[in-house]
Amino acid sequence: MNIKKHIPNTITLGNLFCGCLAIIRSFEGNLVWAAYLVGIALVLDFLDGFTARLLKVSSPVGKDLDSLADMVTFGLVPGVVLYHSIYFSLYADDSGAYVQYRMDPNPSSFYLPYLAFVIVIFSAIRLARFNNDSRQSDSFIGLPTPANAMIICSIPLINQLQGGKDMIHLWLSNPFFLIGLGFVLSFLLVAEIPLFALKFKTFKWADNQIKYVFLILALFMILFLKFMAIPLVIILYILMSIVNNIFLNKKV
């Protein structure tokens, strides 16, 4: 029995387990812990691929298992978190506390949070395309589901751990902004936008300039802006990819 070939898949299952726990925490109203669990899953998602390459083990089962785990953790969980974020923005009490579910006298308002699940639908489309698109072996076409999950899961972290009344917090507490964000991110998931992947075949500067520059800028943004840096880092990632591919005309 070759134990090595099962190590990456075991890590992938850890990613899936974190996604399951995140869903439970979300329905308990603890969106911060749901976001933390997605963060742990992000690390595991990186490690499973890294470990597979390091051990030189790969299989069609491992590839499919990775996508199935990603569908739960980076597809379903962001939809659930966005659903709760929209619901919270509509029905928080005067103290800002999370209230129990209740039927709103205005039916249109009550059903608004369900629009969050457009994220789940487009995540499924994105992952299905990824598994059948030879162009995405060394780069991405469209926003990766982990990056999408990072943006959505940063909302409760910013609102609850970096609370305030500035414009950013007002936007992130506005149900219509959150719904609009869900639709924009859904479009980006399937958009024909080439984005570079943070995969290193070598660690030479000449081969990875854009990746190193991005990582350095992202680190500084996180150090100074903390959780608010997360959506800005993803925006930076998209913009740098566009500059790299369109203006510099370099393959990602």
pLDDT at 129 over 80: yes
Residue 165 pLDDT: 58
Location of structure tokens 């928080």: 92
Domains of the chain: which residue ranges? Answer: 4-90+107-197
The tokens for 236 are 């930076």
pLDDT at 201 over 90: no
The runs of H, that is alpha helices, within 203-242 are: 209-225, 229-242
Residue 138 pLDDT: 66
Location of structure tokens 């520059």: 213
Residue 108 pLDDT: 61
Average pLDDT over residues 143-148: 95
Count of Cβ atoms closer than 10 Å to residue 247 Cβ: 8
pLDDT at 41 over 90: yes
Q: Among candidates 5, 130, 144, which has minimal Cα distance to 78?
A: 144
Average pLDDT over residues 125-150: 85
CATH fold of 4-90+107-197 reads: Four Helix Bundle (Hemerythrin (Met), subunit A) (1.20.120)
Of residues 169 and 112, more confidently modeled: 112
The band of 107, judged by pLDDT with boundaries at 50, 70 and 90, is low
pLDDT > 90: percent of the chain: 56
**One-character DSSP codes across 40-103:** HHHHHHHHHHHHHHHHT---HHHHHHHHHHHHIIIIIHHHHHHHHHHHHHHH--TT-PPPPP--
What are the residues facing 139 on neighbouring strands?
Answer: 196
Average pLDDT over residues 147-157: 95
Average pLDDT, the chain: 86
Residue 170 pLDDT: 80
Residue 159 pLDDT: 87
> What span, in angstroms and rounded, lies between the C-alpha atoms of 94 and 40?
33
Q: Would you tell me the crossing angle of helices 77-91 and 145-161 to the nearest 10 degrees? A: 30
pLDDT at 73 over 80: yes
Average pLDDT over residues 219-236: 93
> What span, in angstroms and rounded, lies between the C-alpha atoms of 144 and 79?
15
C-alpha distances (whole Å) from 50 to each of 9, 57, 62, 199 are 12, 10, 13, 9
